[in-house]
Amino acid sequence: MLPVKAICDRRERRVGNQICIQYCFSSEKRTVLGTEIYVPMKYWHKKLSRIKPEMPPEYGDYRVLNGQIGRMLRNVEDLILIAEKNGKDPLEFVKRQFKPDMEIDQVRITEAADKDLNFYNEIEAYIKVKTNRTCKDMPRIYRNMRDHLKKFETFRKKPITFDCLTLTFYEEFVEFLMYHYVQKGRYPGTVGLKTNTVGKTIKQLRTFLRDRIRKRIIPPIDMTGWVIVEEEVDAIYLNWTEIGRLYNVNLSKHPHLEDYRNDFILGCLTGLRFSDLTKLEQIDLRNGMLYKKQQKSEHWVVIPLKTEALEILQNRFAKDVPAPTNAEFNRHIKTIGKLAGLHQTIKHSHKKGKKEIIESKPKYAWITSHTCRRSFCTNEFLAGTPVELIMKISGHKSVKDFYKYIRILPEEAGRKMQELWAARGEQSILSKQ
């Protein structure tokens, strides 16, 4: 039997006498915990430690109040067991943790986090689970998030734990990524990450924390104010004329580039992500349509195929073309764009913190695997295909995300408006008045 019982405080107050939980750790060490339940002393059954049924309803429903007292008694007993299991002083632990409206499960989670959980161990466990459920590029994104956090930990000279994840932590982490993070790899020595890279890191951190909270591994964390910073990306697309130049470019002196060229054209004609484009199988092709479950979203899409796309697919399956890596695909498609004469100088800008970085390169140097998907969405949009229909093919979940893919030059926007006016017969509307 645990030395815990309900008592009635003899000190009478204007609202009655407070019912308390008494815990005697020993004859010398004890504490009394208030329940914030008040009843007149004469309606308290001292021997049974319960409120008497004859208490008038104006003081409350005795059954409800007795139920609340019973719950608090059980909570105190559970607190004692948690303290003993974790090697803590039960009396001090109970005094610190007890609240009349507390949820004992939350205390268990918090104590488990304090005793057993390691921040990076949880990230590794999260990555391991996600590796089997997402496209192959996503684990790399999660690892980047982990590496950014470790560098921040070194920078701040304090370990990162679940307890330190506050709004102040978020603000300091964002500032570090934008202004103090030293890059390696392709841009060694460069200080600060792009705004969208910072936003992606924060997005993945929030997703990881919500997963741990949802599984009741850690207690809830207030992430109010953890804004995902982002900026509109200056990204290119290729119009049908430019795609045609790639399709018809003479590669007789570079036969190793033909499969990369064909995969790029196929991406422009289907809008598939690179992760899906490289995993197409013969069984996906049925009745002139491509049936594909997208790896990233796990949504099924059914894509109608133009003649060129069907020919490329059939040739691909016949030759059993091996899937390229993203890096080699991006490298070779730039070479193909150069051979096709896509030399127009394109100027793009992005931000690192408050600093605007401007880059000027020929158009072929901006081409990547993602240009396929962006070109498909933009060209179909300009051709007048309804947005809802394009989204069914591309697999976009929201209109907001879809419009991030649309890249229209000012001249194209003006030309498109003129076409709409002509179709409506509104080239001159004032003369009709």
Q: CA 116, CA 30: separation in Å to the nearest integer?
A: 29
- Domain boundary among the residues 113, 129, 153 is at 113
Residues 24 and 85 in one domain: yes
> Minimum mean pLDDT among 31-35, 99-103, 127-131, 278-282: which range?
127-131
Domain count, the chain: 3
Q: Is pTM beyond 0.95 here?
A: no
> What percent of the chain clears pLDDT 70, i.e. is strictly above it?
86
Model confidence at 433, pLDDT cuts 50, 70, 90, reads: very low
User: Is there a contact between 274 and 369 (Cβ–Cβ < 8 Å)?
Assistant: yes
In a domain, 408, yes or no: yes
- 50 lies in which domain range? 4-113
Instruction: Provide the pLDDT for residue 350.
Output: 63
Instruction: Provide the pLDDT for residue 264.
Output: 94
Q: What is the pLDDT of residues 158-186, one digit of tens each?
A: 889 888 899 999 999 999 998 888 887 65
Domain harbouring 282, CATH code: 1.10.443.10
- Average pLDDT value for the chain: 84
Q: What is the pLDDT of residues 64-95, one digit of tens each?
A: 999 999 999 988 988 888 887 777 788 888 88
Q: What is the pLDDT of residues 213-268, one digit of tens each?
A: 888 788 888 999 999 887 766 578 899 999 999 999 999 999 999 999 999 999 99
Top pLDDT among 52 and 293 is at 52
Q: What is the pLDDT of residues 362-382, one digit of tens each?
A: 999 999 998 998 899 888 888
User: Is there a contact between 155 and 180 (Cβ–Cβ < 8 Å)?
Assistant: yes
Would you call 42 exposed, middle or buried from its count of C-beta atoms within 10 A (0-12, 13-18, 19+)? exposed
Question: What is the arrangement of strands in the sheet containing 4-8, beginning at the earlier edge strand?
Answer: 4-8, 17-24, 30-39
Residues 31 and 89 in one domain: yes
* C-alpha distances in Å from residue 321, one per residue of 265, 267, 312, 385, 391: 15, 15, 11, 32, 29
User: Is there a contact between 217 and 122 (Cβ–Cβ < 8 Å)?
Assistant: yes
Residues 124 and 167 in one domain: yes
Name the residue type at position 162. Answer: F
Instruction: Provide the pLDDT for residue 137.
Output: 61
Does 113 have pLDDT greater than 50?
no
Residues 128 and 173 in one domain: yes
